[in-house]
A and B are shown apart, each in its own frame.
Chain A
Amino acid sequence: MKWLARRLPAGSLLFLMLAGMTLVAFWAPDAWAQDAAGPVEYRSFPVVGSRVVVWVIAQLHLMFGAFVLAVPMFALTIEFIGFRNGDKRYDDLAHEFTRLLSVSFSFTASLGALLTFFLFILYPRLMEYLVSIFDWTFMLYACVFFLEAVFLYSYYYGWGKMPKWLHLLLGLGLNMVGIAIIFIADSWLTFMNSPNGIDAEGNLLSTWDAINNFTWMPINIHRLIANICFGGSIAAAYGAYKFLGAKTDEERAHYDWMGYMGNFIAIAALLPLPFAGYWLGREIYAFSQSLGIALMGGTFSWLFIIQAVLIGNLFLAANYYLWLSMERIHGAERYRKFTKWLLASITVCFIVWATPHSLVATVEEARAMGGSHHPILNVLGVMSAKNTAVNVLILTTYLSFLFYRRANKEATVSWAKTGNIVQFGILAAVVGVVIFLGVYGYFVEASVRIGLSIPQVGLVLFAMISITIIDVFMFRNARILGPIEWGKIPNRAQYALFFIAITFAWTMGLMGYVRSGIRQHWHVYGVMRDTSEHAFTPTLGYAANVVSVTVLIFFAFIAVVFFLSSLSGKKQLEAEGGASP
């Protein structure tokens, strides 16, 4: 009981307080509604305005939430790996990841409460309507949230104090509850984008249909994957931060490894993310052409150019980190000569992906082009070219991983040469077919073109899986050319990890904006109009500035989290007698 009493103030108290506030906020609108002369539609917030307040807080809440939901997922996985192969290193790493959790969880809860509070105060009419649609899910959410707290704290504080299988079970429960939370919250916000289960006047027909709307599942999946990416990259940033401050070689080695693992998780999750994104986009189009065009063809088409810059940078930085990582492996020199080809492929794909469909051109330039479209860029600007670029980008990154994997190994199996040829053959064939489908897609009608992305994705997945399987068998009992010298990596690589984390956070902010921005002047698309002064859609530059500020606030908070975690880590180390990591 003593340790509980000591630690309760840190997280739980805050959480309980905020949960109380949530409840108050939940019941408050009735009281307000009564004392005001008529129903209040909006209230204003000083200086920055109500929209920006809710925007920033929601985004911060989302980022922390993403982190808190993602870390248990891979912590559990790593713990399980450590449990199976008995490597203490993995168990420690998993524990260290969870150490970041407890403080983050408090932040998440506070921000969530704050968000609810502001939403109910500033947007009473909208919230009243949403409550009328989702009445019991709010209650369910509160319960699940409470469960999450129970699981999380017992998972963290119970580390090493209970049988491992029980602890793993707790971790599983934590993840289940976490996923339930995100699914419930997603139903609310996806309903605002693609309302369902209501009649033409907006009256509720079925709460389940409202939950299970067009974009609910796509958003769920998209967010789950993105959360893992994000959590991994933040964990990697933590490793990088510790690496840079490390005093001893051992510390350096440990945190180098931690950064590597975090980044591996992030990039592995990044690879399927574009596919989930396309599914989401497709569902939005299926729900309403207007929303789809707002997303892809209207003002927001430029937002996706910014997104392409972000994702292109992400892939570039991820590959860059891998190439630098190979310096700590003996034998990696053999693969160095491929770097330029990988880089060339990434650059070309990046360029294709970032090519806008509608161009900024002077009148003279437009006249020379014979219109607002350039005959060559036009080909690159449409979906089929971009799909192809993303697929090739993914394959290239996968190839970097493959080189990394076999950097210090030399296959000893008799069929090594054949294996290599088969692997290369698969890769070349898949790249060829993906590009062919991309070119072919330009000449067929839209419905077929959209359908083409499925074989493209399938082929890429097939290539990655089949090549990996061959690789695993080929490098069984491989001759090891030299050790991996953890910790022997330039500081540049650690900054690349920071870069990835910041870029992820920024991308999340941007995507959060577009998801809610495509509704334009609607609170609930097609059902409830936004009649406030903030009904207009701001410029992308403005939105980007808000995102930047949000990201900076987030990293300031994260710095606090890192700081607090390192305090508790120190204490623990002391308590455990200064055991080395």
Chain B
Amino acid sequence: MNILILLAACAGLLALRFVPKMNILGWLVGWWAATFVFLRWGINPPLPTSIQGMFLAILTLSLLAYISANSAHFRFALDRAVAFATEKKYTVALLVTLILLPCLVALRVYFDVTEGPAPPLSSRTIHPPPPVSIEVAGRTIDLVNDDNPYRALETEDPAAFAEHVANGRRVYYENCVYCHGDDMAGDGLFAHGYDPIPANFQDATTIAMLQEGYIFWRIAKGGPGLPSESTPWLSAMPAWENFLTEEEMWDVTLFLYDFTGHRPRAREDHGGGGDGH
């Protein structure tokens, strides 16, 4: 967030208050412009243009609603527009607008054409739904119902659990650290070379939102095991089933949660309905 820009936008709006004979149209333009400036330059790192566009569209809708939700405002705006288009004293201004607007549009087109096209955008689904079950080393793991087999040790046998976590720590720092980073913030040594960049486990919206089965699936099957909705498969996540044993993969899952202090999403008990499933 760039405080200076925010302050400048606010100051601009405040200044409008002191403009004599300020009318509703002026206010709307002022608000729109201030928001535009803030969204465009006031946020650091900058918002993607797609999001800027969406926010401005919502704002435009709101401002239109505002002006037409009051008949006096609406009539005023309409009158002004009609007056601008028809009355003699605005003829020069009207002509200037009629010339200037198409020129601006043409200029925009000029920039679009000369800037050259941008590389194709690839959008991919960040959290694709996991399959119902996966096969690891000939064993079927039911991702719907199976839990981390060692999670229960946390309460039953803390010493054994600590051993599993320690093993997970070893696995992590031997295998995962180059991409996911020493502090699991997704900023390892090689993170800058991959797109998408490695997941940030410290972020409350990654592993904290997911059950351990999901994490296990991502570890075991890696980028090549993503479903078709997550194409293109640029993910550099290896299919760890080729390197690690099942136990090691569960252990490293335990360690991820242990290190970041997150808790895996719990399997919820179902309130209504039968329990036959």
Interfacial residues, chain A to chain B (CB-CB below 8 A) = 194-198, 205-206, 208-209, 212-218, 282-283, 285-291, 293-294, 297-299, 301, 312-313, 316, 320, 323-324, 327, 336, 339-340, 343, 346-347, 350-351, 354-363, 365-366, 368-378, 381-382, 442-443, 445-447, 490, 492, 520, 526, 537
B273 close to A196 (CB less than 8 A)? yes
Question: Of the candidates A206, A293, A298, A340, which one forms a contact with B276 in the assembled complex, judged by CB atoms under 8 Å apart?
Answer: A206
A369: chain B residues within 8 A (beta carbon)? 45, 48
With A286-B269, A362-B121, A447-B263 as given contacts, are A374 and B130 in contact (CB-CB < 8 Å)? no
Q: Which residue of B lies closest to A208 (CB)?
A: B274
Q: How many residues of B contact A (CB 8 A)?
A: 65
A351 close to B55 (CB less than 8 A)? yes
B45: chain A residues within 8 A (beta carbon)? 368-370, 374-375
A443: chain B residues within 8 A (beta carbon)? 204
Pairs across A and B, CB under 8 Å, 27 listed: A196-B273, A205-B276, A206-B276, A208-B274, A209-B274, A212-B273, A213-B274, A285-B268, A286-B271, A288-B144, A290-B144, A297-B128, A297-B209, A323-B70, A339-B69, A359-B50, A361-B48, A361-B50, A362-B121, A366-B196, A369-B48, A373-B205, A376-B1, A445-B208, A446-B208, A446-B209, A492-B74
B143 close to A372 (CB less than 8 A)? no
Of the candidate stretches B57-65, B157-165, B241-249, the one touching chain A is: B57-65
How far, in Å, is B195 (CB) from chain A's closest CB?
6
B125 close to A298 (CB less than 8 A)? yes
A299 close to B125 (CB less than 8 A)? yes
With A286-B269, A447-B266 as given contacts, are A357 and B46 in contact (CB-CB < 8 Å)? no
B130 close to A293 (CB less than 8 A)? yes
A195 close to B55 (CB less than 8 A)? no
How far, in Å, is B265 (CB) from chain A's closest CB?
4
Tell whether B101 is near chain A: CB-to-CB under 8 Å: no
B129 close to A371 (CB less than 8 A)? no
Tell whether B47 is near chain A: CB-to-CB under 8 Å: yes
A286 close to B268 (CB less than 8 A)? yes
A197 close to B274 (CB less than 8 A)? yes
A346: chain B residues within 8 A (beta carbon)? 62
B99: chain A residues within 8 A (beta carbon)? none
Interface residues of B in 125-155 (CB under 8 A from A): 125-132, 143-144
How far, in Å, is B158 (CB) from chain A's closest CB?
20
Question: Of the candidates A197, A313, A350, A377, which one forms a contact with B47 in the assembled complex, judged by CB atoms under 8 Å apart?
Answer: A377
A360 close to B205 (CB less than 8 A)? no
A360 close to B50 (CB less than 8 A)? yes
> How far does the alpha carbon of A454 sit from the alpha carbon of B62 in the complex, in Å?
30
Q: Which residue of B lies closest to A323 (CB)?
A: B69
Q: Which residue of B lies closest to A376 (CB)?
A: B43
With A343-B65, A361-B50, A447-B263 as given contacts, are A351 and B58 in contact (CB-CB < 8 Å)? yes
Question: Of the candidates A206, A283, A442, which one forms a contact with B270 in the assembled complex, judged by CB atoms under 8 Å apart?
Answer: A283
> How far does the alpha carbon of A313 sit from the alpha carbon of B50 in the complex, in Å?
19
How far, in Å, is B117 (CB) from chain A's closest CB?
12
| Nearest 4 CB-CB pairings of A with B | A297-B127, A294-B129, A209-B274, A361-B48
A358 close to B49 (CB less than 8 A)? no
How far, in Å, is B126 (CB) from chain A's closest CB?
4
Tell whether B166 is near chain A: CB-to-CB under 8 Å: no
How far, in Å, is A75 (CB) from chain B's closest CB?
30
A446 close to B62 (CB less than 8 A)? no
Besides the contacts A283-B271, A358-B126, A374-B51, what 19 more A-B pairs have beta carbons closer than 8 Å?
A218-B272, A287-B270, A289-B211, A289-B214, A291-B129, A293-B129, A358-B127, A359-B48, A362-B48, A365-B48, A369-B48, A370-B197, A372-B126, A373-B203, A373-B205, A376-B43, A377-B51, A378-B203, A381-B205
How far, in Å, is A384 (CB) from chain B's closest CB?
9
> How far does the alpha carbon of A378 sit from the alpha carbon of B66 in the complex, in Å?
29
Interface residues of B in 181-238 (CB under 8 A from A): 186, 195-197, 200, 203-205, 208-211, 213-214, 229
> How far does the alpha carbon of A130 sit from the alpha carbon of B200 in the complex, in Å?
44
How far, in Å, is B217 (CB) from chain A's closest CB?
10
B197 close to A371 (CB less than 8 A)? yes
B229 close to A359 (CB less than 8 A)? no
Question: Of the candidates B47, B196, B263, which one forms a contact with A374 in the assembled complex, judged by CB atoms under 8 Å apart?
Answer: B47
With A290-B143, A299-B125, A320-B65 as given contacts, are A372 and B197 in contact (CB-CB < 8 Å)? yes
B48 close to A446 (CB less than 8 A)? no
A339 close to B197 (CB less than 8 A)? no
Q: Which residue of B lies closest to A526 (CB)?
A: B132
> How far does the alpha carbon of A208 sit from the alpha carbon of B272 in the complex, in Å?
13
B186 close to A371 (CB less than 8 A)? yes
Q: Which residue of A lies closest to B131 (CB)?
A: A290
A366 close to B126 (CB less than 8 A)? no
> How far does the alpha carbon of A206 sit from the alpha carbon of B275 in the complex, in Å?
11
With A289-B211, A359-B48 as given contacts, are A442 and B204 in contact (CB-CB < 8 Å)? yes
How far, in Å, is B235 (CB) from chain A's closest CB?
11
Q: Indicate with 1 or 0, residue by residue over B98-137, a CB within 8 angstroms of chain A CB atoms.
A: 0000000000000000000011010101111111100000
A320: chain B residues within 8 A (beta carbon)? 65, 68-69
How far, in Å, is A152 (CB) from chain B's closest CB?
30
A299 close to B229 (CB less than 8 A)? yes
How far, in Å, is B55 (CB) from chain A's closest CB?
6
> How far does the alpha carbon of A316 sit from the alpha carbon of B128 in the complex, in Å?
32
A365 close to B274 (CB less than 8 A)? no
How far, in Å, is B50 (CB) from chain A's closest CB?
5
Tell whether B54 is near chain A: CB-to-CB under 8 Å: yes
> How far does the alpha carbon of A526 sit from the alpha carbon of B49 in the complex, in Å?
40
B121: chain A residues within 8 A (beta carbon)? 360-362
Most buried by A among B46, B49, B277: B277
> How far does the alpha carbon of A113 sit from the alpha carbon of B61 in the complex, in Å?
42
How far, in Å, is B99 (CB) from chain A's closest CB?
33
B143 close to A289 (CB less than 8 A)? yes
> How far does the alpha carbon of A25 sit from the alpha carbon of B1 in the complex, in Å?
63
Tell whether B262 is near chain A: CB-to-CB under 8 Å: yes
B128: chain A residues within 8 A (beta carbon)? 293, 297-299
> How far does the alpha carbon of A316 sit from the alpha carbon of B60 in the complex, in Å?
12
B125 close to A358 (CB less than 8 A)? yes
Q: Which residue of A lies closest to B199 (CB)?
A: A371
Question: Of the candidates A209, A212, A298, A371, which one forms a contact with B200 in the assembled complex, judged by CB atoms under 8 Å apart?
Answer: A371
With A378-B203, A445-B208, A526-B132 as given contacts, are A298 and B274 in contact (CB-CB < 8 Å)? no
> How far does the alpha carbon of A232 sit from the alpha carbon of B4 in the complex, in Å?
48
With A320-B65, A371-B186 as given contacts, are A357 and B205 in contact (CB-CB < 8 Å)? yes
> How far does the alpha carbon of A537 sit from the alpha carbon of B129 in the complex, in Å?
13
B69: chain A residues within 8 A (beta carbon)? 320, 323-324, 339, 343
A376: chain B residues within 8 A (beta carbon)? 1, 43, 47
Q: Which residue of B lies closest to A215 (CB)?
A: B273
Question: Of the candidates A215, A297, A316, A365, which one forms a contact with B49 in the assembled complex, judged by CB atoms under 8 Å apart?
Answer: A365
A216 close to B129 (CB less than 8 A)? no
Q: Which residue of A lies closest to B272 (CB)?
A: A217
B273 close to A214 (CB less than 8 A)? yes
A339 close to B66 (CB less than 8 A)? yes
> How far does the alpha carbon of A286 sit from the alpha carbon of B272 in the complex, in Å?
11
A301: chain B residues within 8 A (beta carbon)? 125, 127
> How far does the alpha carbon of A149 sit from the alpha carbon of B262 in the complex, in Å?
56
Question: Of the candidates B46, B49, B265, which one forms a contact with A289 in the assembled complex, judged by CB atoms under 8 Å apart?
Answer: B265
A217: chain B residues within 8 A (beta carbon)? 272-273
